[in-house]
Structure 1
Amino acid sequence: MSTIHRFIGEKNNFSWEDVEVTTYGQGEGPNAASKRELINEARDGAEHFVFRYFRIMPGGSSTMFDKHIHDHGVLILHGHCKVTINERVFDAGPMDVVYVSPNDVHHFVVDGDEPLGFLCVIPNKKLLNSDQPFVDTCLL
């Protein structure tokens, strides 16, 4: 079912109509982060992918170093971060695109005094062809 979720947010605090927010970390402190599934199968009927927006407060990170059996693409919308992929560290900022290959260890750390906001696309977990369970243990 095709749909539009209208943007109702503001600078550095994005929000969309009919899209729930899931909060991670503790309150509005350095560990606070939130996730919004902008397009998903349950609400929108998207069978092949999940399109998400994350916001991480200054001093925060994507919780831990992690890896998944799926790849994903990330587009930084606002803020700056240090991205670790395996043992390499990269600076990233607005409009930079990050590709994380399957099973690469990755971690995003906010760099600066403004929140980090990014879009992230992953495959629908039902499409993953593996004996490993799909475990989304971090924000990405």
Structure 2
Amino acid sequence: MLPLITPASEVEATPIGAAKNTSMQVLIPPSAADNFIMRRITIKAGGSMPNHTNSVEHEQYVLSGSAEVGIGDKMYQAKQDDVLLIPAGVPHWYKASADEDYIFLCLIPNKKDIITLVDAS
């Protein structure tokens, strides 16, 4: 089990393969908590994450920056202090603004998450 307090700076950031200039830190991993996983996602300025679905819902809190976020067939402007709910199975994508990184916390249930890329054409 992890300590109850862990400096985020000590958690390794790993690139997200299908995304452009995007990394993820698993701040609270599946092995540390029974119900939730906490991740911090950083999309560098101008970076993006492709349209995809997840088999679990996502609760997100924007720490800094701004981005266009597509959820289903709608596009939103997300910015610092916004809260997003991405329902399970709903396609979604992100494009960070050109001038600043988009950083957000993403909490998901501690269960298997199946990620499927959605064809943009």
Q: Which TM-score tier does this pair reach, normalised by the shorter chain?
A: 0.7 to 0.9
Aligned to 1:5: 6
- Aligned pair 1:41/2:30, yes or no? yes
CA RMSD of aligned residues (A): 2.1
Matching residue of 2:39: 52
Of 58, 69, 73, which residue of structure 2 is paired with 1:72?
A: 58
CA apart distance, 1:137: 5.5
Q: Is the Cα contact below 8 Å between 1:76 and 1:119 reproduced in 2?
A: yes
1:31 alignment partner in structure 2: 20
Structure with greater contact order relative to length (CA < 8 Å, sep ≥ 6)? 2
Does the 8 Å contact 1:54/1:118 carry over to 2? yes
Hey, what's the Cα distance between the residues in 2 that align with 1:41 and 1:101? 20
Residues 137 and 35 (structure 1), Cα distance of their counterparts in 2 relative to 1, 3 Å cut: farther
TM-score by length of 2: 0.85
Contact 1:75 1:95 (C-alpha < 8 Å) held by counterparts: yes
Report if aligned partners of 2:36, 2:109 keep a CA contact under 8 Å in 1.
yes
Listed as ranges, the gaps of 5+ residues in structure 2 are: none
Residue 56 and residue 37 in structure 1: after superposition, are their counterparts in 2 closer, same or farther (change >3 A)? Answer: same
- 2:89 is equivalent to residue 103 of structure 1: yes
Q: TM-score, normalised by structure 1?
A: 0.74
Identity %: 32
> How many residues are matched?
116
Counterparts of residues 84-95 of structure 1 (less than 5 Å): 84-95=70-81
Unaligned runs of 5+ in 1: 7-14, 127-133
Flag the structure with higher strand content: 2
Equivalent pair of 2:52/2:115 in contact (CA under 8 Å): no
Amino acid at match of 1:122: I
